[in-house]
Structure 1
């Protein structure tokens, strides 16, 4: 767990430092409560200004800690545990980033909220590559290079006002492609169910956020808004990705042991 914490914390702190410089002053981010359909509650403190959109971040922390502390005994190798723990630490760290963005409405947290999303999605192909290559052939340097490339793709946000959306779309597409290919080669009905639920949750995450204000026209989405439910879908997307990847990690690892002379 110490390695996972270190390897997530160091680049995270560097990104925090960079977003508080003038480097990203031209990036298009929303810095107003008008961007969200949920109404601000003036008598509540800033960290609860939009209660539901703020408190939903506790679900990220709970889910992240659940998978961080999850145990499989002797069935999980040290490398497999590292893959799981890095993903879980990312989930835990993501919660205060989003919460801070809502609480202070400043450029730094808003940029970090976008930026940190990219290496989170990139970890899915990294994990799948680990499963496909088997532990003895897995390259940590290649994984680090992919994560670094993912971080650098946020530079597209500096080149175009929709650069972040383009980068995120590529990350999502790659994660889904790798997941489908992994399912085709090694999955069963159980992992297929996890994959479908993860993809459905990802779709809900994107669509509900985009339709936040339109959905608020209907009473059902005026308190628990589309943005709130998009975050619920995001948590479920994390969870079902964990289910899919941990199940396949165990299955392929056991197959490798069986095939070994």
Structure 2
């Protein structure tokens, strides 16, 4: 777990430092509560101003800790454990990043909220590469190269107003493509179900977030808004990705 924590924490700290410089002053990020359909609850402290959208971030932490401590009694190699632990630590850290953005409404947390999304999605193709190549042919340098490219891809946000959305779209498309490919080559009915649920959760995450204000005209989405449910879908996307990748990793290990 120490190596996984080091892998995540070093680039995370560097991104925090860079986000607090003037480098990203021209990146378009939303810095007001008007961006969210949920109404502010007067009298609550800033870190609970939008209680539902704030508290949902606990789900990321819980889910990440679940997978960080899982599995008990399941045989894993040090490399496969590393793949799982890196992804889980990312989930644990992502919840506080989003919560800080809501609590402070400052540029640096908003940039980090976007930026950190990219290496998270990149870890899916990295893990799939480990499954496809096997422990003998997989190299940590492969993971470092992918993560570095992912972090640098946020530079698109500096050159175009929709640069982040373009980078994120490419990351999501690559993750889905790699997932479908490894499912065809190595999957079964169980992993196919996990993959479908992960992709549907990803679609729900995107669509519900975009329709946040439009959905608020309906009573069902006035407190538990589209943005809130998009975060629920994001947590489910994380969880089913874990299920899919863990199952394929174990299956590949049994076939060796």
Once the two structures are TM-superposed, the CA of residue 14 in structure 1 deviates from its matched residue by 0.5
Once the two structures are TM-superposed, the CA of residue 119 in structure 1 deviates from its matched residue by 0.1
Q: 1:64 is matched with which residue?
A: 64
TM-score by length of 1: 0.97
Once the two structures are TM-superposed, the CA of residue 108 in structure 1 deviates from its matched residue by 0.2
Are 1:54 and 2:59 an aligned pair?
no
Structure 2 unaligned residues grouped into runs of 5+: none
**RMSD across aligned C-alpha pairs, in angstroms?**
0.7
Deviations 1:157-196 (A, max 9, x none): 0000000000000000000000000000011110000000
Q: 1:22 is matched with which residue?
A: 22
Structure 1 unaligned residues grouped into runs of 5+: 257-261
Alignment of 1:31-180 (within 5 A): 31-73=31-73, 75-180=75-180
Once the two structures are TM-superposed, the CA of residue 71 in structure 1 deviates from its matched residue by 1.8
Q: 1:240 is matched with which residue?
A: 240
Deviations 1:121-150 (A, max 9, x none): 000000000000000100110110010000
How far apart, CA to CA, are the structure 1 residues paired with 2:135 and 2:177?
A: 22
- Please state whether the residue corresponding to 1:23 is helix, strand or coil: helix
How far apart, CA to CA, are the structure 2 residues paired with 1:218 and 1:72?
A: 44
- Please state whether the residue corresponding to 2:154 is helix, strand or coil: helix
How far apart, CA to CA, are the structure 2 residues paired with 1:92 and 1:212?
A: 25
Are 1:249 and 2:252 an aligned pair?
no
Are 1:189 and 2:208 an aligned pair?
no
TM-score by length of 2: 0.99
- Please state whether the residue corresponding to 2:116 is helix, strand or coil: helix
How far apart, CA to CA, are the structure 2 residues paired with 1:197 and 1:66?
A: 19
